[in-house]
Amino acid sequence: MSTPKIAPKVAPKIAVVTGGGSGLGRVMATALLDAGHRVVVAGRTRASLESVDGADPFVADVTDADAVAALFDHVRSAYGRLDLLVNNAGVFGPAAGVASVSDEDWQAVVDTNLTGSFRCAREAFRIMAGQDPRGGRIVNNGSISAHVPRPDAVAYTATKHAITGLTKALALEGRAHDIAVSQIDIGNAATEMTAGFGSGTRQADGTLRPEPTMDAAHVGELVAYMAALPLSANVQFVTLMATNMPYVGRG
């Protein structure tokens, strides 16, 4: 009996990963590079972007509309097409109750997580809809917080719920242009952000309890699998999480 294929083999694709210099963005960019794709990593810090071996670093802050436009202009001029956008750039914002969140704090999270993702998707649509062969794929980084909140995370939770609406709207509009749009909701992947989870993180009842994490490499493997699918198939929504983290029944 032959071994089933994990993913179909495809020609190298041109990909953009925002927030690609660190954390999950770096993991996803590396997995795509390992799969043979050409990857533009975008972010705010040149040194971290340049440390992603084999990637094309481009300094761009997704809260800056001109910087986003320049990023995708670079993709057009350097590669002539775009096959995959991973909307990964995001910030958590202040860990504080709603009464303590300032307008500035709220807006900073919205500008990065939601508006930044919208801007990048808009530019990707403009390229993907008009290129030949037509189409492409967009993967939005949602979060477990797109479903259920952590305590003291009102801005992050609101933007991640909004990413689900953005994903659905883009997926609907993308049908006419052969653009497949997905959302990956990640829970407790081991990165710098979750480094302290093993010693205790705040729960809904106010206590601090340790939470398990999973190897972040699994996130990269999943994104590489999604990138390898033909545009006739789409993983619309997927949750990838540490098996024993508090999610089902959280709170």
Amino acid code (one letter) for 128 = M
pLDDT mean over 191-209: 69
CB 49, CB 55: distance < 8 Å: yes
pLDDT of residue 72: 98
Active-site residue flag, 79: no
| pLDDT tens digits for range 55-90 | 999 999 999 999 999 999 999 999 999 999 999 999
Which two three-digit tokens encode residue 161?
A: 């719920």
Instruction: Output the CA torsion sign for 22, 27, 32, 36.
Output: positive
Amino acid code (one letter) for 43 = G
- Between 143 and 202, whose confidence is greater? 143
Q: Which run of H or E residues covers position 18?
A: strand 14-18
pLDDT mean over 97-111: 95
pLDDT at 204 over 80: no
pTM to 2 decimals? 0.90
pLDDT of residue 8: 47
Return the beta strands (E) in 68-143 as ranges: 84-87, 136-141
Distance separating alpha carbons of residues 51 and 220, to the nearest angstrom: 17
| pLDDT tens digits for range 9-54 | 556 899 999 999 999 999 999 999 999 999 999 999 999 999 999 9
pLDDT at 1 over 60: no
For the beta carbon of residue 217, count every other beta carbon within 10 angstroms: 13
pLDDT at 214 over 90: no
Return the beta strands (E) in 158-233 as ranges: 179-187, 201-202, 208-209
- Between 42 and 188, whose confidence is greater? 42
Residue in this structure with the two tokens 């659905």, named with its chain if needed: 168
Long-range contacts of 188-191 (CB under 8 A, 24+ apart): 188/144, 188/212, 188/213, 188/214, 188/241, 188/242, 188/245, 189/24, 189/27, 189/213, 189/214, 189/215, 189/216, 189/218, 189/219, 189/240, 189/242, 190/214, 190/215, 190/216, 191/23, 191/24, 191/27, 191/216
pLDDT at 194 over 70: no
Topology classification of domain 14-241: Rossmann fold (3.40.50)
Distance separating alpha carbons of residues 5 and 9, to the nearest angstrom: 9
What does the chain come to in residues?
251
Looking at every residue in the chain, the average pLDDT score rounds to 90
Q: For residue 32, which of 231, 240, 223, 229 has the smallest C-alpha distance?
A: 223
